[in-house]
Each structure stands twice: as structure tokens, then as C-alpha cells.
Structure 1
């Protein structure tokens, strides 16, 4: 039911984390296909995935683990060596509802807590596609990528800032490589006001990023993009929609106003060199 609050138990969290791991693995593979080489990897690990797409990519991470027991130490040794050989730290995104023994295992190996991100969700019910939003055409993909990347670069100052900063070209490549997504354009007075993307994984509508051009912020653009994706999720037969935001951000406030509930947080655990940034420019949400 549309108005019913969504409770997240361990089974639902595991389902969402599997979908996230699949998105990362497929997008990491798309990065290698774009380049035409085999540098990097996306390998199963402890029920999740360990991925290196390319230098400084948002798909360089370990995700989805914590629901299949504590990782094997020798297997994690191999993962750490694989990242080290490519000059990258190991970043693990660990769900709050994962086995607590996994967190203890990782901190015991020298992983440090750097940040958090929130996962929110809602049931998908009947929704109407709003005026002012349309699908992105194939012939305007480059414009969409450029506009959204520029909007991401001007982050909102509310909430916990992202611990990561990505070069503009890397953001564009990551959005291009995001596997299986539909893209949307929001317009105001004939101008590009914002963009968003969405994909379906095992009945989950994954809202895979949205950004509003700064001059058009606080004008309902992100709300319209949320409603558009909810309408498409309903048409696709999804039962839930999920979105990731920075904690305490305007994006989190916006999605909660659209009926999303805070399901859980992910702890960002890092071992190795990591550049901590206060810019908040990432591939998630910018109001």
C-alpha cells in the first residue's frame, strides 16, 4: 500500500545490497568495455562484489557483503593485493544490518571509518508521470551527461559532505557506464533544469542519481524527477524503490517528503590512501 511505512528487515536489506552489488559489477564491466581493455575487475566476494573500474571511479569499492558470514581472510588478502596493484585503497560499504562480526573483522584488519551514506526506500504504488519531465533522447546523451556532471559539481551545503571528490570527466564516464539505466530530463521555461537516472534490478527500482542545475534549485525539480521515476517503476512492476543520499542532506529531505523511509545506513570503511573532500561532488544526489 502506497501510504504504508516501509520497514526494513535483514532480508530486505540483503536484497537491496545484492541489487547494489549487481549495479556496481555491471557498471565496472561497462567501463572496461568502453575502454576496450581488461584493466580492473569485478569479482564476487563474501556474498557481494569487489570492483575496480578505473582510477578514481565511484565503482571502485567492495559492496554487498555482510549477509553471507565473515569474509575469508585469505580471500580478502587477495582483494587487498588486487587494489594495491592498481594503486587504489580498498573502500568497503557495509550495511548497518549486516552481520556485526564483519565490522569487527574489518576494523581488526586496519579499516577505518570515513563516512556514512543513507539508503531510503518506499513501496511503489500508483503514480502519475509529471509535466516538465521527459525521457532523455539518444541524440542528447552528451548534453545530459555534461549538464548533470556540472550540477553535481555544485553541491548543496546541507548535511554531511561526501568523503569523495571525483574529477568531472570521471563523473561523466561513470554516468555513461552505469549499466541498464533510463535517463530523464527536467525542463523549466525550455531550459535544462535537472537530470536523473533509474534502473530495475530484481523488482527493485534503483534511483541511481539525480542533479538539479543550481539556478533551478528549490523549484521542485528534484521532486518532479522523483515522481517521474516512481511512475516508471510502477509501470515496470517494481514493488519498492530505493535511493542513496548523504545523511542530513536536502536530497534526503526531498525524498522523505515523497514518502521514502530511512531504511539503513552504510558505513564507509577504508584501508589505504583515501582523499577526504568536503566538496560533496558525487554520483548520487544533488538537489
Structure 2
């Protein structure tokens, strides 16, 4: 029987965005402990983070559920980012206060892309559907090098489906960011095909929400059910840990979105990505 799709109102979106802000802030703190900037500034119910040079955590997330930020708050965020040569990127949920988008565009922020947030209730139907020859297990401390290699390899060779990302990152930046996420509580998983490392993923559980924080398959092992196996294992672990909701962020129209929708996920909302000029700080 097909499960009823989740309805995502403002309250559920705020819950998910709060968890996202917590994840990015925790990863930013981890960057600080290894010598990065590690700056996290609360703003309008979310957080503005400057983690490290080139980091994907350099952004503003989760804002707009405690009213719009005032001009002084935005001035300070722009000052901190600009001092480090970083353009302010804001990931704005479509269910946040509409005044936020109006304020940002009035300040010259431009729309550069979108990302979709999908979710499903847990436990739901978690009957295993094993793929032939695919085994998934949690990565141990000694596996982190292999886990990083397969994640980075997968990200370096996107599937080509859907809307292209508005940003790319070099290997060393991805490696540091993945380790920062792991330090922030994202548990790594490895998938093996006939004993060979074929894919990797991670998951962080926070206040009943299982955040599926990334997954990648090595090009040589694609279309063998690796992504499905990684997803099923994480969902089972999340349900066993007491989570009532699983969420994942994907590029619009991507193979990743198609894969998770096959596993009962439904589109909850979209985030708009708005970027300011790195030199736009107001004196």
C-alpha cells in the first residue's frame, strides 16, 4: 500500500531547518577545532557560518522562522564574510518569512539555484530489499580513509541528471568538510559490492530527525543498487534509534531525488540559494 505523503507546513519546515542549522553550526565548530575559522552567528532563527576557506559550510541556513533579520544583523554577517573573502550564500526555505527574500533581493542578493528537501515518516515500510552482492555496514575508525575516497570519487563524477549544481569544490575541501560533518555527529557508512568498496554515505540523528547527510557511489559500481542499499540501512538504523522523520536534500531532478522517492520520500519544500557580492559590505 502506498504511504500517505507528509504534509509540510511551517511548523515541520521550522523543525527541519532548525536541525539543519544545528548540523552546519556543529560542523563549523569542528572546523574551528582543527584550525579553520569556526565562526557561527545566530540570525533570525538560523545561523550564519564561516567554517574555513572554501568550505561548503560557509553559508546562512535556517533563518526566517523567528522573523526577518534586521539590517544591522545582515550588515554584521556581510562584514564577517567579506573580511574572509567569502560571498554570503543564503539557503532560504520557501516557508520562511517572505520578508527575508524581499530584504535580501533589495540588498542586491541574486538567485543562483535551488535545492529540494524531501522527507518520509518513520518507521513506515522498512522491509529490506537486498541488492545482489551489496553489503552495507557502518564505517569504523580505520575505514575513514576508504570512506572519504569513495565519497570524493562519487562527487567528482556526478550522474549528470537534473539541474547542475551552482558550486563545485576541490578534493581537499570536500575531505575536510566530510570530516567536519563526521565530527558533528554524522555517522559514516560503507557499501561493498562483492567485497569491493562501492559507495559511502552518512547520517546524523537530531531530536527525532534522521538527516541523510550525503551519499555517493563509485562510477564503476553504479546501477547495482548501491544507493538503495545505503538508504535502506540508514532508515532502519534511524527507526531503531527512535527517529520519527528522515530528511534528505537533493539537486532538483537528480538521480538522487529519483532514488529516494522510490523509497517513500516526498518533496516537502524547496530552498532558494541567494548570493550577495563578496564586496557588498555596507560601511
What is the TM-score normalised by the length of structure 2?
Answer: 0.93
Does residue 45 (structure 1) correspond to residue 48 (structure 2)? The answer is no
Q: CA RMSD in A?
A: 1.6
Does residue 186 (structure 1) correspond to residue 191 (structure 2)? The answer is yes
1:89-131 CA-to-partner distances (Å, cap 9, x unmatched) read 0000000111111111110011000000000000011535656
Moved more, 128-137 or 212-221: 128-137
Matches within 5 A, 1:98-247: 98-125=96-123, 127=126, 132-178=135-181, 179-247=184-252
**Counterpart-to-counterpart distance in 1, 2:15 and 2:9:** 10
Please state whether the residue corresponding to 1:132 is helix, strand or coil: strand
Matches within 5 A, 1:59-78: 59-78=57-76
Q: Which runs of 5+ in 2 are unaligned?
A: none
Q: Which runs of 5+ in 1 are unaligned?
A: 275-287
Q: Quote the residue 2:12 is aligned against.
A: 12
Please state whether the residue corresponding to 1:211 is helix, strand or coil: strand
Q: Quote the residue 2:27 is aligned against.
A: 27
Offset of residue 182 of structure 1: 1.0
Q: Quote the residue 1:284 is aligned against.
A: none
Aligned pair count?
272
Q: Cα–Cα, structure 1 residues 2 and 16, in superposed 2: closer, same or farther, change >3 Å?
A: farther
Offset of residue 3 of structure 1: 2.0
- Contact 2:112–2:273, Cα closer than 8 Å, also in 1: yes
What is the TM-score normalised by the length of structure 1?
Answer: 0.92
**Counterpart-to-counterpart distance in 1, 2:25 and 2:191:** 29
- Contact 1:116–1:266, Cα closer than 8 Å, also in 2: yes
Runs of 4+ in 1 over 4 A off after TM superposition: 128-131
